[in-house]
Homo-oligomer: A and B are copies of this chain.
Amino acid sequence: MKIEVVPTARDLQPENLTGKTALVIDVLRATSTIITALNNGCQAVFPVTTPEEALELRRRLSGPILLGGERQGRRIEGFDLGNSPAEYPPEVVAGKKIIFTTTNGTRAIRACTRAANLVIASFLNAAAVVEFAAGTGTNILVVCAGTRGHFSLDDILCAGLVVDRLLQRLRPAGLDPTVDDLGLAAVDLYHLYSNDIRAGVERSLHARRLKQMGFDEDIALCTRVDCHPLVAIYHEGSVVPHSSGSTKGPTSGG
């Protein structure tokens, strides 16, 4: 069994996804916001690459729909919601479909659709993601969205948490997964900050930019570990809460 970590969506090699379970991480803020929305009763999140694609998809979907996402960190003109988890409480999102587009996170999700299982990961739902991923029996590719094509410390710390826990979960079961160099480095970095994840995330350039823009609260919201026991899976165009039975294992995947 192999566990690999990819530093940015740009580093993905599509052929490396086949048969694997991909865990996509964009701590600040896309995957944290998607998990928050689904935890608050949102029916499905449709990740799309551009605002134009979002508008086009809205014309084709039925039912109550919201448009969410950001460019340059801010809500897109004409959209209902931005990219802050705080904008997605139950009274806003319950029962709704959300079409969502962000600079890094939704692109990373869309880049991983070849994977056997495509799981949305964040600090908020890390425990649930690890439990799910360990149960697939497949090789695991942890995909950090990164920030505009660059290595991002916030995503790597979350990757380190996930890899560390996968190893704790799998080794006693007799499996001893091989971990690539970035996976080993991510675990080391996570251990340095495990007592104060927020402090580690705040060192990142992305967090510093968000603070300058007034999004301090988002950093606090996105660095709560294990507050939502939710597995969310991308399947045929949308991210939905996982119901058991749709997992692809190592033989059926790909």
Q: How far is the CB of A103 from chain B (nearest CB, A)?
A: 16
Q: Give Cα A1–Cα B214 distance, bound, in whole angstroms.
A: 26
In the assembled complex, A156 has its CB within 8 A of some CB on chain B: yes
Interface string of A150-194 (1 = CB under 8 A from B): 111100100000000000000000000000111011001100100
Residue count of chain A within 8 Å CB distance of chain B: 21
Q: How far is the CB of A199 from chain B (nearest CB, A)?
A: 12
Contact B182 A151 (CB under 8 A): yes
Q: Which chain B residue shows the least CB distance to A151?
A: B182
Prevailing SS type, chain A contact patch: helix
B10, B188, B192, B204: the one contacting A181 at CB < 8 Å is: B204
Q: Give Cα A86–Cα B156 distance, bound, in whole angstroms.
A: 37
Within 8 A of B (CB), among A191-225: 192, 203-206
B147, B184, B185: the one contacting A185 at CB < 8 Å is: B185
B7, B152, B192: the one contacting A151 at CB < 8 Å is: B7
In the assembled complex, A53 has its CB within 8 A of some CB on chain B: no
In the assembled complex, A77 has its CB within 8 A of some CB on chain B: no
Name A's B-contacting residues (CB within 8 A). Answer: 7, 10-11, 147, 150-153, 156, 180-182, 184-185, 188-189, 192, 203-206
Instruction: Knowing that A7-B7, A181-B206, A188-B192 touch, tell me 12 more A-B residue pairs with CB under 8 angstroms.
Output: A7-B151, A150-B181, A150-B182, A151-B181, A156-B181, A156-B185, A180-B205, A184-B204, A185-B189, A188-B188, A188-B189, A189-B189
11 intermolecular pairs with C-beta atoms under 8 Å apart:
A7-B7, A7-B151, A153-B181, A156-B181, A156-B185, A181-B203, A185-B185, A185-B189, A188-B188, A188-B189, A189-B189
